[in-house]
Amino acid sequence: MAQLAFLGLGVMGYPMAGHLVRAGHDVCVWNRSAAKSKSWVAEYAGDAADTISQAVSAADYVMMCVGNDDDVYAVAKAAIPSMQSSSILVDHTTASAKCARHCYAQAKDAHIGFIDAPISGGEAGAVNGALTIMCGGDGDIYARAEPVMDAYAKAVKLMGSSGAGQLTKMVNQICIAGTLQGLSEAVHFAKRAGLDVDEVVQAIGQGAAQSWQMDNRASTMGRGEFDFGFAVDWMRKDLKIAIEAAEENGANLTMTKMVDKYYAEVQDMGGNRWDTSSLLKRLEP
């Protein structure tokens, strides 16, 4: 088993680091809030460090899951100089491809491997060890890191060179945005038509309209429940990254831009922390 460091114990990182302990690895964690680190150590019996440098200095692999590009730049800048030569930094943050490529180059100069490895599956996926991980980087580095990521993943795939993982995550978020807007309008229509949402889902959920969002969110949407993990604020962050990337590569994201504006309306309603299925709220009286 390997010596690991995990940087960032948020909603996703906290259980992911726990799965690494359960897989038999020695894990040292770091988090901006020391209280969260102490809580994690009490639950999983790993170690905690006061600084990033202390956490990574003996690690064969360093896993990172923080908030945005600025966080990635800052944490990577602090981690890489203290990492061992030939160790590997795996970034699970959803960030820009530009950020991934910058960190890849910085790590390469220090003789350290780097994989951009954004995750999909939400809080439930992290807790259940069933995340989908989209990776970018060098094939030999990926081959070394994949068995470690398997501790919390149901699917891991190398998509191409550095940045390809982040670009694939953008595709994922574009798909989710469109699916949720369609599902929101469908649930809204069903309710206005006097139909039972659960019965509608039972009737159409085995056909061409079926989706993960329908299976897992249609019923809760029908009941007006929007407290299921991935928040609107984070979705808008992700869509902003995708829209900016599309401006660079010339892709037409008309629908994605429209849904992003709808999420802005949800934020104006006070729904910053509601989950992404709360698009329905803007359609309700």
Report, as residue numbers or ranges, the catalytic residues: 169
Locate 206 and state its tokens.
């085995």
Which letter does DSSP use for residue 84 in this model?
P
Q: What is the DSSP string of 172-211?
A: HHHHHHHHHHHHHHHHHHHHHTT--HHHHHHHHTTSTT--
Residue type, 160: G
Residue 6: beta bridge partners? 29, 63
Q: Calculate Rg over the CA atoms of the chain.
A: 20
Q: Name, in order, each residue with C-beta under 8 angstroms of 35's C-beta and a sequence gap of 6 or more.
A: none
The whole-angstrom separation of Cα 13 and Cα 37 is 11
251: Cα separation from own chain's centroid: 23
Locate 72 and state its tokens.
């990635």
85: Cα separation from own chain's centroid: 28
The whole-angstrom separation of Cα 269 and Cα 281 is 9
Q: What is the DSSP string of 110-136?
A: TT-EEEE--EESHHHHHHHT-EEEEEE
Locate 264 and state its tokens.
């802005």
Q: For the purposes of burial, counting CB atoms within 10 Å of the CB of 96, is it exposed (0-12), middle (13-18) or buried (19 or more)? A: buried
